[in-house]
Amino acid sequence: MTKLKVLVTGHTGFKGSWLSLWLSMNGHELYGISLPPLKNSIYEKSNLDKIFSKSVIQDISDFSKVKDFINTVKPDLIYHLAAQPLVIDSYLNPVQTIQSNVIGSLNILESVKDSTSVKKLLMVTTDKVYKNIGKVDGYSEEEMLGGEDPYSVSKSMTDLMIQSWSKSFKLPNLAIVRAGNVIGGGDRSPNRLIPDLVHALNSKTPLTIRNPDSVRPWQHVLDCLNGYETAMAKLSNSNIEDNIWNFGPDDNQKMTVKEVCELAITSWPSSDSTEINYVSDNKSEYKESKILTLNADKAHRDLGWSNKLNNQAAVEFTMEWEYKVSNGSDPFKITEEQISKFLNI
């Protein structure tokens, strides 16, 4: 495999950490731009700084620093993952959410205009870009974008901006990828199901789960990243509409919050348990969609991509990582082992 210079924005985040180690295992030269990692995150616990030729901790919304770093590094490929990724945080910090998600993405686009080094650019948005009308058969790539909460709006704005810039300016070969709720070892984001559940299991404390009947397009982070990698590998110059892909579970793999929670508890490798209280949070000041699903037929058809891990395997991978690391195993080694195991499926 050809060794390439690869820039990952958001490399200290959950997805960015898994992606960076995957790319490192493939022999690429890595560079990163991101905010500091969360405490006890996979990036921090695995000491992933060591796999980067150079990484900088800075706000992606600072245009001059982003452009200077890209001009200095001269990467061949860019994976743009940096974002404020949480719905609740978007209510608490709407301006910061817009600055990170919209302005940060704009800075990447502006920095690579007329670039002589960057050959491919993968822009990560989300399943929440779609105008949610309660569809049960999944949103496909051509459907209307929209959103009610500040996070969804910021990502819809970003997605539309990327499409506009790709048609209006000279940019590298570019793709937009949209995925849903990913799970996996080492996620430490607040108010997320698996991190909260793992904390409850390790501390043997009760846990309250909001909206247990809500449906989300759950998938393991490695299946999601396999979609990103497949898209990047096959990306070539074409209309942007042809280079937009959803990556999500098949119809028979959709699960409610409660189903994921119960599967995670049964997958925990010890007899430890915790008290779970399920609450239908209809009075919450933070509006969240009841059902959100993706149609990934285009990725199946165009890229030959599909999930390797079913629901049970995805949750088992996640809980195995968390259990082993909480009991003293080397998180870097466990992550490498799970990536290798996944690639050999």
334 pLDDT higher than 90: yes
Question: Which pLDDT score, from 0 to 100, does residue 229 have?
Answer: 97
Q: Which of 70-74, 81-85, 235-239 has the lowest mean pLDDT?
A: 235-239
C-alpha 334, offset from chain centre: 20
Residue 283: pLDDT band (50, 70, 90) is low
Question: Which pLDDT score, from 0 to 100, does residue 289 have?
Answer: 65
Do the beta carbons of residue 276 and residue 264 sit within 8 Å?
no
Q: Which residue has the higher pLDDT, 180 or 326?
A: 326
Percent of the chain with pLDDT over 70: 96
Residue 286: pLDDT band (50, 70, 90) is low
Q: What is the dihedral of CA 168, 170, 171, 176, to 10 degrees?
A: 20
3 state DSSP class of 252: helix
323 pLDDT higher than 60: yes
Do the beta carbons of residue 125 and residue 176 sit within 8 Å?
yes
Residue 253: pLDDT band (50, 70, 90) is confident
pLDDT one-digit tens code per residue, 188-208:
988 889 999 998 888 888 888
Question: Which pLDDT score, from 0 to 100, does residue 285 have?
Answer: 57
pLDDT one-digit tens code per residue, 290-317:
777 899 999 999 999 999 999 999 999 9
DSSP codes, 69-129? HHHHH--SEEEE--S---HHHHHH-HHHHHIIIIIHHHHHHHHHTT-SS--EEEEE--GGG
Residue 171: pLDDT band (50, 70, 90) is very high
Pairwise CA distance, residues 258 & 174, whole Å = 37
Question: Which pLDDT score, from 0 to 100, does residue 191 have?
Answer: 82
> Which amino acid is located at 168 in the chain?
S
Pairwise CA distance, residues 313 & 321, whole Å = 12
Pairwise CA distance, residues 305 & 261, whole Å = 27
pLDDT one-digit tens code per residue, 210-242:
888 888 888 999 999 999 999 999 998 777 878
pLDDT one-digit tens code per residue, 124-140:
999 999 998 878 788 99
3 state DSSP class of 34: strand
In terms of Cα–Cα distance, which of 240, 220, 268, 252 is closest to 22? 220
Question: Which pLDDT score, from 0 to 100, does residue 281 have?
Answer: 63
Do the beta carbons of residue 310 and residue 222 sit within 8 Å?
no
In terms of Cα–Cα distance, which of 95, 103, 100, 75 is closest to 8? 75
| CATH superfamily of domain region 5-343 | NAD(P)-binding Rossmann-like Domain (3.40.50.720)
Pairwise CA distance, residues 203 & 198, whole Å = 8
Mean pLDDT of 135-150: 90
* Residues 6+ positions from 254 with CB-CB distance below 8 Å: 215, 217, 218, 293
Tokens at 318, concatenated: 């996640």
Question: Which pLDDT score, from 0 to 100, does residue 183 have?
Answer: 95
Taking the model in full, what pTM does it have? 0.94
Q: What is the dihedral of CA 220, 225, 227, 232, to 10 degrees?
A: 180
Question: Which pLDDT score, from 0 to 100, does residue 321 have?
Answer: 96
272 pLDDT higher than 70: no
Phi and psi based region of residue 18 (left: phi greater than 0; alpha: psi -120 to 50; beta: remaining): alpha
Pairing of strands 219-220, 207-210: unpaired
